[in-house]
């Protein structure tokens, strides 16, 4: 296949930037690059344009760097939600790819991002939060939080009926009683409360009848008669 050398006038991903001299297929240059104004044939006249193209390239790259830096700050604060279908066991049907993340960024935040700038070492296969690396520029990288959620509603857990058994009656709080009022004696070692003299009642009077009389002494004659033996 015949090759031809051209000077790029615009940045072409995978091929080069402005002012780069590259070799491409003659048909590709003749039918696409040159008609679209993306390149010019390599001639002495066109070589004079290289310096102007380099200047334009430097301005473009500086603008892209500033734009990607601002975009990185914004994307690092976002949470991109991706909804997937799952089975009853919670396992996903399929995977989450960089193309799907790029679509959700466009849908949710109106951010157009080339899926090739979303770096996934492996497709996402599990629900939850994931940190995804974004390579926005040669000098700008950031991370995007991707939350994978299930679109399948979680089945409600059955409510177990209450266990049948003897119902416990509510306990009633028993109020304490004063030992004196209930006729109870104070506990061992506990002293009976002392009542003031003014609160004591009058002492009962002892009547003469209540006093026990002393025993009368027997006369000597009666004592002797009692000791004497009976007559025969």
CA distance 23 to 9: 14
- The yes-or-no verdict on residue 229 having pLDDT over 80 is no
Contact 180, 192 (CB under 8 A): no
Domain boundaries defined on the chain: 3-48, 71-150
Alpha-carbon distance of 20 to 52, in angstroms, equals 12
Which CATH number applies to 71-150?
Answer: 3.10.430.100
* pLDDT over 90 (residue 63): yes
The arithmetic mean of pLDDT across residues 126-149, rounded, is 93
The share of the chain scoring above pLDDT 90, in percent, equals 47
Contact 10, 16 (CB under 8 A): no
What is the CATH code of the structural domain delimited by 3-48? 3.40.5.10
37-62 tens-digit pLDDT: 999 998 888 888 888 999 999 999 99
Least confident piece of the model among 9-13, 89-93, 184-188: 184-188
């Amino acid at each position: 296949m015949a090759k031809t050398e051209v000077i790029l006038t615009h940045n072409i991903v995978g091929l080069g930037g402005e002012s780069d001299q590259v070799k491409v297929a003659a048909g590709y240059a003749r039918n696409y690059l040159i008609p679209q104004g993306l390149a010019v044939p390599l001639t002495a006249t066109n070589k004079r344009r290289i310096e102007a193209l380099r200047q334009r390239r430097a301005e473009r790259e500086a603008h892209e760097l500033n734009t990607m830096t601002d975009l990185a700050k914004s994307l690092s604060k976002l949470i991109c939600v991706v909804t997937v279908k799952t089975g009853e066991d919670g396992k996903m049907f399929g995977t989450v790819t960089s193309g799907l993340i790029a679509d959700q960024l466009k849908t949710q935040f109106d951010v157009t991002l080339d899926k090739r700038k979303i770096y996934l070492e492996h497709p996402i296969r599990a629900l939850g939060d994931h940190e995804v690396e974004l390579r926005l520029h040669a000098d700008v990288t950031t991370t995007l939080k991707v939350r994978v959620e299930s679109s399948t509603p979680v089945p409600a857990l059955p409510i177990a009926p209450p266990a049948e058994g003897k119902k416990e009656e509510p306990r009633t709080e028993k109020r304490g009683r004063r030992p004196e009022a209930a006729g109870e004696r104070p506990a061992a070692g506990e002293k009976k409360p002392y009542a003031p003299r003014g609160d004591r009642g009058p002492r009962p009077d002892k009547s003469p009848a209540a006093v026990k009389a002393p025993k009368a002494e027997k006369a000597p004659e009666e004592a002797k008669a009692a000791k004497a033996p009976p007559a025969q």
